[in-house]
């Protein structure tokens, strides 16, 4: 089956899907989104993604949007596309209205865009050998915990990394605090324990990050949700990034400096194994 789109319930091949030039998502980035991956025909951590969506909608004052019918549409499109390994993208914007910063009155309802596409898996070579990153000043707005479609700083940082032959950029605050990558959370390992930025307004609280912490702790792996700086990052035994499609990807070099001997380490491998094991157990149950 093809990759599919639904725009306000109207289903079509992705290339034929249309939205008004007055969509506030397009004009202002006035919207929120989610990306959910499937494994063996099931959408994973769906409820967790929907809970984060609720928080994002509330944070941008779109409390009136009802999630349940949207979740049903997502499931329907996912089943209709019948892709073995899919990612479902959902974008909800503040609707269509002539360009004006003020919210449209009366509200004509949101624009709801859903696409179902194939997941392009990260190269096995990247997983096996790890990837290099640059650090990049975090120039994003002050509420990156809200999953809005305003991703220009993320795009600029990602491209800066690619221009330097690296895979991704790691956002660092003006004070040198390490936050996250452009579309993934970041963990540093030191002496067998893991460090990751706490979930405040300065990072996106990743669903994968939360699941990994939940899986690590019962295994006796200490996880500290604490701020750390670039020196700590560069001195870490291991660094890896995590996300819905990234899963667990080792970082072996930052700004040209090798991390932990320049090779992926055992904790990144272990965390990926824990996640995969958990996914498979939940698929088969």
Binding residues vs ligand PLP (CB under 6 A)? 35, 180, 183-185, 204, 206-209, 243-244
Toward ligand PLP, which CB reaches closer, 243 or 260? 243
Q: Which residue in the list 18, 87, 126, 147 is annotated as catalytic?
A: 147
- Strand, helix or coil at 267? helix
Give the separation between CA 120 and CA 130, rounded to whole angstroms: 17
Toward ligand PLP, which CB reaches closer, 93 or 96? 93
- How far from each other are the two terminal CA atoms of the chain, in whole angstroms? 26
> Phi and psi for 155 in degrees, rounded to 5?
-65, -45
The nearest distance, CB 154 to ligand PLP, in angstroms, is 6
Residues 11/78, Cβ–Cβ less than 8 Å: no
Toward ligand PLP, which CB reaches closer, 97 or 127? 127
Give the separation between CA 49 and CA 77, rounded to whole angstroms: 17
Give the separation between CA 94 and CA 262, rounded to whole angstroms: 46
Is beta strand 168-172 parallel, antiparallel or unpaired with respect to 131-137?
parallel
Toward ligand PLP, which CB reaches closer, 96 or 183? 183
The β-bridge partners of 135 are: 170
Sheet holding 10-13, edge to edge: 10-13, 4-7, 111-118, 86-93, 31-39, 42-43
Toward ligand PLP, which CB reaches closer, 111 or 150? 150
Is position 147 annotated as part of the catalytic site? Answer: yes
The nearest distance, CB 206 to ligand PLP, in angstroms, is 3
Residues 240/263, Cβ–Cβ less than 8 Å: no
Toward ligand PLP, which CB reaches closer, 27 or 170? 170
The nearest distance, CB 193 to ligand PLP, in angstroms, is 21
Give the separation between CA 212 and CA 275, rounded to whole angstroms: 7
Reading the block at residue 158, the tokens are 């990602």
Residues 158/136, Cβ–Cβ less than 8 Å: no
Which residue from 11, 30, 34, 2 is spatially nearest to 204, judged by alpha carbons?
Answer: 34
Active-site amino acid positions: 147
């Amino acid at each position: 089956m093809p990759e599919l789109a639904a725009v306000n319930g109207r289903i079509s091949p992705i290339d034929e899907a249309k939205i008004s030039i007055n969509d506030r998502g397009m004009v202002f980035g006035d919207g929120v989104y989610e990306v959910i991956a499937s494994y063996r025909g099931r959408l994973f951590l769906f409820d967790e993604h929907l809970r984060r969506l609720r928080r994002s909608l509330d944070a941008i004052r779109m409390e009136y949007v009802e999630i349940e019918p949207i979740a049903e549409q997502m499931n329907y499109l996912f089943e209709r596309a019948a892709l073995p390994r899919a990612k479902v993208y959902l974008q909800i914007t503040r609707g269509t209205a002539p360009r004006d910063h003020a919210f449209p009155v009366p509200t004509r309802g949101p624009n709801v865009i859903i696409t179902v596409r194939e997941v392009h898996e990260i190269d096995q070579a990247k997983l096996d050998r790890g990837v290099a990153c640059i650090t990049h000043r975090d120039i994003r707005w002050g509420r990156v915990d809200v999953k809005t479609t305003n991703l220009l700083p993320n795009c600029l940082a990602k491209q800066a990394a690619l221009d330097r032959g690296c895979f991704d950029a790691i956002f660092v605050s003006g004070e040198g605090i390490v936050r996250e990558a452009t579309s993934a959370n970041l963990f540093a390992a030191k002496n067998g324990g893991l460090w990751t930025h706490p979930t405040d307004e300065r990072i996106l609280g990743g669903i994968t990050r939360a699941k990994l912490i939940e899986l690590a702790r019962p295994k006796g792996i200490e996880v500290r949700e604490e701020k750390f700086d670039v020196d700590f990052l560069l001195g870490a035994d291991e660094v890896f990034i995590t996300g819905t499609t990234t899963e667990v990807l080792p970082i072996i070099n930052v700004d040209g400096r090798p991390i932990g001997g320049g090779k992926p380490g055992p904790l990144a491998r272990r965390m990926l194994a824990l996640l995969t094991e958990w996914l498979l157990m939940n698929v088969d149950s």
